């Protein structure tokens, strides 16, 4: 992964755009979907940029670029056809600690902008690391048809109800289980009857002090694409991940990102059984049906925890 994915708080962003043509205009319009402060510098600007200026949406410097304009900026987008100027801005931005993006010139970019699927407050971003823009566009268009438009409404609703769920349940596990169950209900993704469905589930949910431990045994295939949907869903719900050393790292990465992970060996079997005693949901990525793995699964069953195999 050559590019580190990150989302910036745009309320704190001051952005400089160098250039006044149509390409600069497209970047400005994208930036204005956020609360970032945008300053444009160019001796000439397009009609579209002029309309944004008239509407008071941007600041404008009717002049040529100067490095002093980088002061108090965090990002600079460069949309000019002047190669030497682009190189100059790239160098001066680096010296000023400002991240630069030179449009259509990856070699002069400190960062790149992703393809975006906007379901605010849910936002999905993808890149091909500059290798295949057509493939990236293909997948963005495909995902646009899969991800419902109402997902933003659902995310906003959940945000409004977070405190109510926090007040109802005393521990994180119960809150997580509540939301997992709520989001998986039929019709929820389409934003249907959110209030009534939420109130009914909240009323019928118990704030249990202890949870039933689960051991999820995933018999991992040779290729990630051969994992079943059920296996991947459970991998992403586990509290802890245990895996044989032979398991492909790509498969391990499909597990819940913030779940602690450990290679399976005799030294951590006791620790994992202790987690099960605490009511944790442990996912075991298994490649070899060894006597040691059989003994571990048998020991888990003796703890009266639920064991599911995928």
Mean pLDDT by 10 residues, the chain (310 residues): 94 97 96 97 97 98 98 97 96 98 93 95 94 94 95 96 95 89 90 92 86 90 93 93 94 94 90 92 87 87 91
- pLDDT of amino acid 11: 95
pLDDT at 153: 95
pLDDT at residue number 171: 87
Say if CB 251 and CB 227 are below 8 A apart.
yes
Residue appearing with tokens 């006044």:
20
What pLDDT shows up at residue 208?
79
Answer yes or no: pTM beyond 0.75.
yes
Alpha-carbon distance of 134 to 50, in angstroms, equals: 31
Q: Go through the domains of the chain in sequence order and give each one's CATH number.
A: 12-113 (3.40.50.720), 115-147 (3.30.160), 151-204 (1.10.8), 214-309 (3.40.1010.10)
CB within 8 A of 284, min separation 6: which ones? 215, 216, 217, 218, 242, 243, 264, 293, 296, 297
**Rounded distance between C-alpha atoms, residue 189 and residue 298, angstroms:** 39
What is the per-residue pLDDT for 215?
95
pLDDT at 271: 92
pLDDT at residue 203, rounded to an integer: 94
Place of tokens 């398991």: 247
What values do phi and psi take at 248, rounded to 5? -60, 135
Give the per-residue pLDDT at 86.
97
Apex CA 291: angle with CA 304 and CA 258, to 5°? 60
- C-alpha to C-alpha distances, 218 to 64, 229, 245, 249, 283, nearest whole angstrom: 61, 12, 14, 14, 7
Write down the pLDDT at residue 218: 95
């Amino acid at each position: 992964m050559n590019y580190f994915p990150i989302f910036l708080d745009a309320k704190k962003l001051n952005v400089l755009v160098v250039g006044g043509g149509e390409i600069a205009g497209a970047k400005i319009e994208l930036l204005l979907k956020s609360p970032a402060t945008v300053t444009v510098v160019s001796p000439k600007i397009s009609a579209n940029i002029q309309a944004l200026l008239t509407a008071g949406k941007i600041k404008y410097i009717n002049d040529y670029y100067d490095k002093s304009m980088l002061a108090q900026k965090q990002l600079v987008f460069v949309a000019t056809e002047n190669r030497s100027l682009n190189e100059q801005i790239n160098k001066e931005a680096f010296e000023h600690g400002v991240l630069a993006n030179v449009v259509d010139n990856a070699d002069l970019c400190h960062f790149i902008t992703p393809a975006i699927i906007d379901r605010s407050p849910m936002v999905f971003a993808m890149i091909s690391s500059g290798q295949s823009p057509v493939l990236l566009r293909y997948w963005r268009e495909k995902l646009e048809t899969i991800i419902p438009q109402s997902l933003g409404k659902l995310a906003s609703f959940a945000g409004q109800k977070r405190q109510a769920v926090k007040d109802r349940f005393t521990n994180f596990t119960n809150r997580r289980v509540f939301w997992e169950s709520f989001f998986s209900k039929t019709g929820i993704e389409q934003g249907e009857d959110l209030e009534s469905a939420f109130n009914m589930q909240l009323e019928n949910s118990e704030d249990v002090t202890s949870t039933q431990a689960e051991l999820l045994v995933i018999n991992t295939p040779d290729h990630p694409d051969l994992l079943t949907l059920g296996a991947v869903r459970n991998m992403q719900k586990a509290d802890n991940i245990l895996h044989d050393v032979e398991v492909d790292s790509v498969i391990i990465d499909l597990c819940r990102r913030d779940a602690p992970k450990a290679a399976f060996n005799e030294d951590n079997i006791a620790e994992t059984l202790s987690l099960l005693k605490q009511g944790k949901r442990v996912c075991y990525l298994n490649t070899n049906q060894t006597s040691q793995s059989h003994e571990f699964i048998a020991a888990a069953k003796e703890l009266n925890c639920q064991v599911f195999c995928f």
